[in-house]
Structure 1
């Protein structure tokens, strides 16, 4: 619970490099996300090249944190792995959340940058990473050591809870 509650969207990073071991742990967390029919319809693209990270900011106007990030992880839906139509969207959401929580647990800052269903972003990122048509870039997680600290709001709200019926 502590990690879930304390995780914040971090968009400013130090210049410290993330070890390959930490990146592997983060990717492992993504791969342990639940998926419909255990299809695991995802693939991940790790980007450390600053030129590519900057290129992505040209097709995603809210992704400027990538310019400071040590790396970005693109979570992609792979339609060839899909068992149930369009369930890849939920599956990739779960993988993205696992990645965010794993990054936080390792002392890293991260932010979820949505791509899908904004097709201009999807197509732009697909072109940048040279992905085939069956690959749908779903989200980008910007990663780095945090250079900012954010407060933790109280988001628990009883008015959002309903029992048995609305």
Structure 2
């Protein structure tokens, strides 16, 4: 059974890689909508769905983020990024990061299924990154930045690596 046009679901999971080099082609709005639909279908505690998404495609914002987020230099090439943030008015506990991380993973998988590349850039718990994102995107106090994802058409190969490690599996006890 195929869930996607070109790949089966397990192939999507197994072949997804972090992409750090992008072509400048704009990501179609239809793809962005599908990616966000996938994000909003992530599981969340008590179905609270505390997430908000900020779409970033202004070059001056993308180019400024690496000044406070040193691992985000791929934003110089990426045509866009998506911030995943949680609403502290909905939930204030650790589950906000877990719920937003589930949405982030769905973004990565949906982007890959659509032929796009993406890279998860951690924001939380680094205070400098959290504060930098809050400031540059003018986030309200109740919106808590969790992760940033660069997205675009890959300008690098995707090598498939077998990452399965039998020695990390334990049955019933350690």
Task: Specify the TM-score bucket, using the shorter chain as the normaliser.
Answer: over 0.9
Does 2:87 align with 1:67?
no
Counterpart residue number, 1:156: 164
Counterpart residue number, 1:102: 110
Superposition TM-score, scaled by structure 2 size: 0.93
Counterpart residue number, 2:3: none
Alignment root-mean-square deviation, CA: 0.9
Poorly superposed stretches of 4+, deviation over 2 Å: none
1:1-166 alignment, distance < 5 Å:
1-82=10-91, 85-166=93-174
Count of paired positions: 165
Could you tell me how far 1:150 is from its partner in structure 2?
A: 2.8
Could you tell me how far 1:16 is from its partner in structure 2?
A: 1.2
Structure 2 gap segments, 5+ residues each:
1-9
**Structure 1 residues 111-141: Cα deviation after superposition (integer angstroms, max 9, x where no partner):** 0000000011001100000001111111110
Could you tell me how far 1:156 is from its partner in structure 2?
A: 0.7
CA distance in structure 2 between the aligned counterparts of 1:58 and 1:77, rounded to whole angstroms: 23
Could you tell me how far 1:90 is from its partner in structure 2?
A: 0.5
Superposition TM-score, scaled by structure 1 size: 0.97
Counterpart residue number, 2:7: none
Structure 1 gap segments, 5+ residues each:
none
CA distance in structure 2 between the aligned counterparts of 1:103 and 1:49, rounded to whole angstroms: 20
